[in-house]
Structure 1
């Protein structure tokens, strides 16, 4: 592979204008296509085959009027007034009529008084606006119609907030916090390269690849069910790896220029060596992301595919477009310049850091390894009581209208209002006295623990299905609500035998519980697949048994610490004000799977760039200690810079206002911190020193049958050195 990448790099450098022009042309064409189609994200998070999903499908057939999107106008009367007063009720009625008259997709509007849902003090209630299209198909024009007309109620002093299954506060991509992360990354690159010009190049390359990827995802939303959080994850990961991959290749290019190679030859060598590592590392990330499909959850699979697309484009940009830019601007982004402000910073603070740290680890390997392992193990402890869930409006920022509506509804009806369960009662021909059986069913359900109220059974058009609504005492993410869902399902077995009635639980709360359970069940399988895959892959790369084993155990340590720290903050509520979380909540149900996939790929990035240099030196010298010190000296700086860049980019997302983005940013920020700086830069070299030469042991029979991947590009470098020697001899 390295030999082909060497040729590709030289071709790109020599044809730089064609490559850059073609890339920009592709970007423009895709942008035009994407802008014409526009985004069409699907926010449906369901799992085919689960009980709650089956019940939803039955409801769509039996109760078609319930399938359209609905907006709840949550209203609170002005001080010293109630919602049922003539004056206030008239303003509400007029507003609803205006909403209906201006939108042909609105099929009905109902006031709180008509619905009879006023709170005990009659201060709070909600009106309903129903549409003839599904919630995710309600247009922006329809949403604007709502927002424009509720100004009337707000001007009348009636607090009006929006709830229901139609989203008004969209996820924001590319805000000020993400920009701060990019600025920090630029500063790190400027210090690393001792050049402001060179520092901008990896960011520019990452942005080009990310722009193409995000535009393709926007196009894909018109043909596939892709959630808006998918584009967030893709943006987060695509930007981070895009900068890192360009950094690795540029670093090797500058090293070759220092050794006296021409611009074209330096680009080719950098693409063949560092480019090989980039391709390998990127493919591991892609495979990990595609592995999200193991859970067999459609929205999670699309998240993995979306992020994998951006990583693939980051690889292509790194091995094709980066060499072209280096070929064009190689003289300007070459080796470090002397007597500059940045070179003084680097020489004073950075030049010998890797050497000093490497020597310290080599002198105290046992202490470093034990301290690192113990610290990560302690941080991982909270993971033992991790609870999974999906966010609701109560998790949103306090400034959003959905969060304000959530708080008003909680004030009026209690937390259980947000956890309403829909139970589909399916009768059969064996049911002898239908009405008596239904009365018994409602009585059974009312007697269950944690039930606040049970509605009468509403018949479907076939007469075989009935819809029962249950309001729990507790909220949607409370463990008691989950227990209630399980109790209803257990009770169904009893009722099926006694009255021949089957109960199927659904509703957003039951769906979220099923998704969390499915993800929890899939987590061990996914983790074992990733760990097994990484071990085999690293055996091929490093031609060793103990080095891959050490890498895998290090990954498990950093993963445990990441999830433990996330539970400590997000679920247990420690330091939530510091990190800006509105409330303590269960861990995002798909976060552990995402963290495993992404952190695995990034861990392999750092492992390859750090340990491949160690292997190269050990192959030439046979001295394991010297190999570790050389790896720390030559690759420690670039791994440190790469880790800091990842952290700065992910921190930008961690500072975002949306809790879902924030929790992903938090987990990935500290995941990189634990893996890059504690595991790869401390525990890995310490353990390598302790193992000595045995670290590189590989049975001879296994060595013969394993293919040689040549990540370091040793084969073609020998040819380059031979050609160079012949040139000077002649």
Structure 2
């Protein structure tokens, strides 16, 4: 493989304008295909094999109007006044009059003053007026789907509420208009800005720092366009574009860093720039290919979860990684060829530039000597630190809430006046074979649910049928629908328990010849959380197992892949522990609204960070193996490989921490949790495991780290990731080069 990549690197460097033009043409062609076919992303969300999915299908089939209503945007206005809402009736009337003018409002005549409605119809007073007339509920329905809400709608709604927060009247909102996410782009821009600064420090030159950003932008553009075009042929959810962008930035910059850094090292030998590009792609490019393969495995394995949207996210992100790898081994050498001798200029004074004499000691070299001299205490201290950070993980609770922090005041009023579950109804669907009267079964089910805890207004609980007579749908019905409003939060454990109790009653319904299921957003979210939790261990086994095999091929060793995967488990546990401590337990007072850990965060984080962790493992340790195979002792190989790779790995990790950490600037706890978790995982894995524990453990293992049983050595393919074949190729001298007279021309 190294030889093929060597030739590819030289070809791309030599035919630089052709290669760059080819990339631009491909991007243009894919963009043109999108314009011609006008593909659209799917807005559907399915959970095959779950009770909520089956119940949703029955609801769509037998109660189409109610099912459609569940997909429509709905927002609640909560009003409160300590002196009673009756004293603010005129102000509330004005609020309602303007609320009716909000975009896409349906049935405006049904939006009424809760005080007036309670006086006119005492039977429904408890549904709109609570806490002795101090809290009121106004419901707004819109003729658009929940996912089609816009930032403009949210802004108009926020302005409306702010306008009427006067004279002691509190006005808050919760629901679909409040849950619109702010437009993305800030975190990506911040990530690129930090990346540029870090790469200036890493390379000591402006143009070299710009090259990875340029190639990353082209790669992300092609990946996003490819996924968009694919949505016209495959069912791809619109939510995948975010992860494609995030992963695309991460791996594109990482891989470009490694190629450009190795190119700079090869230039120090004084050969031609074309040959240096070939050797850089043949050596570091081999690492890029296998590191990319590991990330692709980690992302594609998300299919194990059996949640279509997550599978689509994983495969789409894997496409972004494949494009990033192709960009690293073709576009990078081409752009290096275009800049030629100006690639590492203008030089920034006071920074290392990579062409210093080998005798000039670096911080990485100093640290590597310390780690290899005292491996036991250093590895032990690092692992103890991770274990301490992991302790809170024993309290891990998984959940899934889409509640925005801006909705918290409204939820507090809901709980105070009506119960938090007003916007989280459970839809119990009963279905019987044709010819079976559902009446007795439905009445028995209603009676059972009335006796359960956490049911709001059980006295108002009733069922509706799907009978042929619209005036009397119960008559002749073979299916029934029961809307159950929980008293507590839709995402809370009490509501989850209520849902399970209703489902448990399904055995009784089955014995009577019918089927029971629970649908609705609350049930779907709960089933998704359960599905993700149960898939965590199988997913971890698949990802670690496949990556272990890949790393055995790369490192020709059993112990090196073993230490790499065990180290990752330490860093993941430490990350879970730190995330639980801050976001679930509220330690250090950093988070105002604590909540369970997002159920998809562990799997998502394992997939993304495992891939990045193995990137750092491959780039750092393959250089060690390269030096070991070419004659250095095990200890000296660790020091030499660490010296050459630590600076680049540290730079890549800092960039990733900055990209992920930028999400913590969000005002939302969920976004902060994702950003913190991913940033913490990269920190623990890159700086603690890869740059401290791994070199220390390898120093302890010595030569045995690189041992491989003879029978296994015959089975595993030899991919020559060390570039042995390339080393046999004479260095092509460049008459224009001016190598450092103190630099010994040996391959690095």
Say yes or no: TM over 0.5: yes
Distance of 2:76 and 2:260 partners within structure 1: 55
| Residue equivalent to 2:585 | 572
| Residue equivalent to 1:16 | 16
Q: Aligned ranges for residues 93-104 of structure 1 at < 5 Å? A: 94-95=97-98, 98=101
Distance of 1:284 and 1:72 partners within structure 2: 44
> Is 1:529 aligned to 2:542, yes or no?
yes
CA contact (8 A) 2:304 2:535 kept: yes
Please give the per-residue CA displacement for 1:450-489, whole angstroms capped at 9, x wherever unaligned. 3333343332324122222223333233223222222222
- TM-superposed CA distance for 1:50, in Å, is 0.5
| Residue equivalent to 2:139 | 127
The 3-state SS of whatever aligns with 1:649 is: helix
Q: Go from structure 1 to structure 2 and tell me whether the alpha carbon gap of 1:333 and 1:150 turns closer, same or farther (over 3 Å shift).
A: closer
- Does 261-270 or 503-512 show the bigger shift? 503-512
| Residue equivalent to 1:700 | 710
The 3-state SS of whatever aligns with 2:482 is: strand
Among 449, 452, 462, the residue aligned to 1:445: 449
CA contact (8 A) 1:171 1:229 kept: no
Distance of 2:524 and 2:448 partners within structure 1: 22
Among 184, 187, 192, the residue aligned to 2:194: 184
CA contact (8 A) 1:91 1:152 kept: no
> Is 1:59 aligned to 2:68, yes or no?
no
Among 147, 152, 174, the residue aligned to 2:185: 174
How many residues were matched structurally? 705
> Is 1:409 aligned to 2:414, yes or no?
yes
Distance of 2:162 and 2:352 partners within structure 1: 59
Q: Aligned ranges for residues 98-497 of structure 1 at < 5 Å? A: 98=101, 106=106, 110-112=110-112, 113=114, 117-120=127-130, 121=133, 123-131=135-143, 134-136=145-147, 138=148, 155=163, 163-165=174-176, 169-175=180-186, 177-220=187-230, 226-227=236-237, 229-334=239-344, 340-343=349-352, 352-393=362-403, 396-398=404-406, 405-427=410-432, 435=439, 437-454=441-458, 455-462=460-467, 463-497=477-511
Please give the per-residue CA displacement for 1:227-258, whole angstroms capped at 9, x wherever unaligned. 55432222222112111111100001111111
- TM-superposed CA distance for 1:722, in Å, is 9.4
| Residue equivalent to 1:48 | 48
- TM-superposed CA distance for 1:701, in Å, is 2.0
- TM-superposed CA distance for 1:204, in Å, is 2.1
Q: Go from structure 1 to structure 2 and tell me whether the alpha carbon gap of 1:109 and 1:60 turns closer, same or farther (over 3 Å shift).
A: farther
- TM-superposed CA distance for 1:576, in Å, is 5.6
Distance of 1:681 and 1:658 partners within structure 2: 33
> Is 1:626 aligned to 2:636, yes or no?
yes
Q: Go from structure 1 to structure 2 and tell me whether the alpha carbon gap of 1:144 and 1:553 turns closer, same or farther (over 3 Å shift).
A: closer
CA contact (8 A) 2:265 2:354 kept: no
Distance of 2:293 and 2:211 partners within structure 1: 23
CA contact (8 A) 1:295 1:519 kept: yes
In the superposition, the TM-score normalised over structure 2's length comes to: 0.86
Distance of 1:594 and 1:298 partners within structure 2: 14
CA contact (8 A) 2:207 2:344 kept: no
CA contact (8 A) 2:264 2:354 kept: no
Distance of 1:212 and 1:481 partners within structure 2: 44
Distance of 1:657 and 1:634 partners within structure 2: 40
Q: Aligned ranges for residues 578-597 of structure 1 at < 5 Å? A: 581=591, 583-597=593-607
Distance of 2:560 and 2:485 partners within structure 1: 55
CA contact (8 A) 1:71 1:163 kept: no
CA contact (8 A) 2:78 2:138 kept: yes
- TM-superposed CA distance for 1:520, in Å, is 1.2
| Residue equivalent to 1:504 | 517
- Does 284-293 or 407-416 show the bigger shift? 407-416
